[in-house]
Amino acid sequence: MQMSTLGATGINVSPVGMGVLTIGKTQLKLSIEDGAEVIAHALLSGINFLDTAQYYETYPYIREALNIIETCFPDSSEEIIKNLVISSKSLCSDYDGMMEAIDACLEELGLEQIEIFLMHEVRGRYDYELRFGALNALIDAKKAGKVKTIGISTHHIDAVLKAAVDPNIDVIFPLINIHSLGIRIVDADSIDKFGTKEAMAAAIESAHKNSKGVFIMKAFGGGNIAKDYVEALDYVSYLNGVDSVMIGMGETSDVDEAIAYFEGRLPDDFMPNVAHKKIRIDQGDCEGCGSCLIRCPNKAIYINKDGKADVNYDVCITCGYCAPACPVRAIIMF
């Protein structure tokens, strides 16, 4: 695969990266050994870009994958590790919390410096401003050499636009997909509402023009549009300003299919096997608003004892109608 450069950072990444959330405790719950094998397969196959986060608790998977490569593939390990780009992020909004998150990341991964660290899930321009403590920690960590580049991850168009003109920001990790699933915007009246792919694409282009590195998430809308595999990837990979596409991968076949697409070897009519996948609600992201209950045509969603939405699989027909209604993209399919 031909490498891309993230904006003006000088960091070269594969056109597709591996999101390691999928193998962790909130989704597939793979053992450290099994999850590390998937990561190692991705790195050995040409992917050099990994996305993780503090709350994913997937650092041990990455470290074990590197151990596998060093032990089993010594001839390749030096180059793979030298070219490896890891992006992590934290939900912390204060200075001390963010700095502790960075230090913990470096310790758990056995690194002296991480290439990318982000403010995780910035919910619009006002949330961006409220998290000035975390941003200052990122700036100081960069000055200290703990982090090479800093930025934000977000589902919000207005947050991308704000980051695009912030001289402190090097990279942006926004959500976009062909059906606009999960895209948000805080409007002029301070109302947080659904956004469009067209508006997010324009924000990404603005960031690109300002030399920000951009890699995108949720091309498959949390798995809800994975059946439209080629169409979904065609849309995001041809957007102006997108340097890399981060895809959640839980099996070696996920790795192979993604690489085949980006190398131009995947048939146009390719359809992944999604028969085994279920609609699931991420309990860590769900806010219990009830929007999905209203949208579900089969009354398969209910509020559980914790006040979060959950799925009754006896009546769920996996139609996916609930996913667009979720304001925080908590509804996923895997």
One-character DSSP codes across 257-320: HHHHHHTT-S-TT-----TT--EEE-TTT-----HHHHH-TT--EEE-TTS-EEE-TTT-----
Give the least confident one: 98-112, 155-169, 179-193.
Answer: 179-193
Between 320 and 310, name the one with better pLDDT: 310
Q: Cα dist. 77→44, 70, 71, 325, 326 in Å?
A: 9, 5, 8, 45, 42
Tell which CATH architecture fits domain 4-262. Alpha-Beta Barrel (3.20)
SS3 (DSSP) at 161: helix
* pLDDT grade for 176, boundaries at 50, 70 and 90: very high
State CA 320 to chain mean position distance.
Answer: 20
Q: What is the per-residue pLDDT for 60?
A: 98
279-333 to CATH, choices 3.40.50.1360, 3.40.50.300, 3.90.180.10, 3.30.70.20: 3.30.70.20
Whether 183 and 196 have beta carbons less than 8 Å apart is answered as: yes
| Domain ranges in the chain with CATH number 3.30.70.20 | 279-333
The mean pLDDT of the chain is 96
pLDDT at 208 over 90: yes
* pLDDT grade for 58, boundaries at 50, 70 and 90: very high
Average pLDDT over residues 35-50: 98
Question: Residues 68-102: pLDDT tens digits?
Answer: 999 999 999 999 999 999 999 999 999 999 999 99
Dihedral class, residue 84 (left if φ above 0, else alpha if ψ from -120 to 50, else beta): beta
Q: What is the per-residue pLDDT for 29?
A: 93
With b meaning 16 or more CB within 10 Å and e meaning fewer, what string describes 280-304? bbbeebbeeeebbbebbeeebbeee
* pLDDT grade for 329, boundaries at 50, 70 and 90: confident
The identity of residue 48, as a single letter, is: N
Q: What percent of the chain has pLDDT over 90?
A: 91
Whether 320 and 279 have beta carbons less than 8 Å apart is answered as: yes
Long-range contacts of 317-324 (CB under 8 A, 24+ apart): 318/277, 318/278, 318/279, 320/224, 320/225, 320/279, 321/295, 321/296, 321/297, 322/279, 322/292, 322/295, 322/296, 323/181, 323/221, 323/222, 323/224, 323/279, 323/292, 324/179, 324/180, 324/181, 324/295
Average pLDDT over residues 138-163: 98
| Domain ranges in the chain with CATH number 3.20.20.100 | 4-262
* pLDDT grade for 240, boundaries at 50, 70 and 90: very high
The identity of residue 93, as a single letter, is: S
Query: Residue 166 has which token pair?
Result: 């912030």
Between CA 130 and CA 134 the distance in angstroms is: 9
Question: Residues 243-290: pLDDT tens digits?
Answer: 999 999 999 999 999 999 999 999 999 998 887 889 999 998 999 999
Give the least confident one: 8-12, 24-28, 130-134.
Answer: 24-28
